[in-house]
Amino acid sequence: MATLKDAMVAYLLVIFLINLSNNLPSAYWAIYLSETGLTLYEIGILQALYFLSVAFLDFPTGNIADKFGRRLSGAIGSMLYGLSLIIVSVTRQFSIFIFASFLGGLGTALVSGSYEAWVTDEFKARNEFNKLKQVFSFGRSLGTCAAVFAGIISSILALSKTSLPIAMGGLVGILAGIVSIILMKENYGERRGSFIRLFILNIKRFFYSKEIMFFTLANLGLNSSIVFFFISWQILLTSRGYPSEFLGALYSVLVIAMTLGSMLSAFLMKKISDYRLLAITSVGLGACFMAIMGTFDSVVMSVFVMIAFELTLGLQTPVLIFWRNTLIPSSSRASILSGMSTIISLSNAVMLIVLGKTTRILGVDGTYLVMSFLYAVSFVSFLVIAKRITGSSNYEAL
């Protein structure tokens, strides 16, 4: 058996590469697709197709990860996602964009939950579950460091072509899959019985758990707002007069803010007895910042509020990851994480279409006010969960 340090290093390196792959295209994704002739609504449609692919494939692929290996599932998924980015970078045909969205969704579904389940059970097998708070926080910080690096690289590459950051993201995604195969030792969930029997069993475990279902539903408004923010912030800022050539530099600043939030999250989780309070507070602040972005059209204020918003994302994400893992049994961890992702992806697909339509009626500014309302709904939902569900100490369920 590999040491705990070996498992942690392997996980963090793969997470770094995956985040580098995901973030290299981010600053220029909407700009590149706009250059191909797509409208923001059509870009939203592609993102919705991506999330629908994730939604329909996520739970089955989570079961595949538990039965056949989490490392294998994550590695194949990383490579397929990388291939989808390369395809996007070399075409301007909408039909091929659709295929790439499906391929990227399949890759994401295979990755979803696999590495998180892998590292959680590596630590749990060594009776070090509580150390995961710091691992997830450090992983988030390392991931956002990768995003800073990605912002710098993408700015340089985009000087030649805006498609180059997307292609580079694809190559790094393929590399992440190769590295995970080399460094990670395989682990599994429940393997006894046929795939169909385990698939049905995990569906029952997911839908019969009120704790897991309530937590998943509470994430819906939060996640759909964050996803729409990621595909629209560049367009919002440039419409207010921000120079497009500096988007890559600002993207690096935004992810630095998220990194600082993740580091602060790790520190505060050691100091605060009920870590859930940190998640709830940061979600509430995020709702406020989203409303301010939609209300004031000053480009300077928009930039500073976006930085503050990214700080709250860094604060809340590691806590929410740890919180959900206290609710999930080891035998079905990848499957249930994928089940949660399925429902969230379906919601994201629907809400991206709705929010895309909303931009035609209310404009991008008005849509941000709608997003702040969705964020606030999640804030209230987490308050209710923290009050009624005592999942933070329910380690016997793991």
pLDDT in tens, 43-69: 888 888 888 888 788 888 888 888 889
pLDDT for 303:
93
pLDDT for 124:
83
pLDDT for 66:
85
Q: Residue 169 corresponds to which amino acid?
A: G
> For the chain, how many structural domains are there in total?
1
Asked whether 374 and 221 are in contact (CB, 8 A), the reply is yes
Q: Which domain holds residue 363?
A: 4-397
pLDDT for 2:
65
- Write down how long the chain is: 398
What is the reported pTM? 0.68
pLDDT for 391:
45
* Residue 271 to residue 269: CA distance in whole angstroms: 5
Q: Residue 377 corresponds to which amino acid?
A: V
pLDDT for 71:
93
Regions in the chain scoring below 50 on pLDDT: 391-398
Q: Report pLDDT digits (tens) over 89-107.
A: 998 888 899 999 999 999 9
* Residue 116 to residue 26: CA distance in whole angstroms: 23
Using the structure block, give the residue that is written with the tokens 């509470």: 218
pLDDT for 273:
67
Using the structure block, give the residue that is written with the tokens 């918003």: 309
* Residue 297 to residue 292: CA distance in whole angstroms: 9
* Residue 314 to residue 63: CA distance in whole angstroms: 29
pLDDT for 393:
37
The CATH number that applies at residue 369 is 1.20.1250.20
Which contiguous run of DSSP H or E holds residue 73?
A: helix 70-89
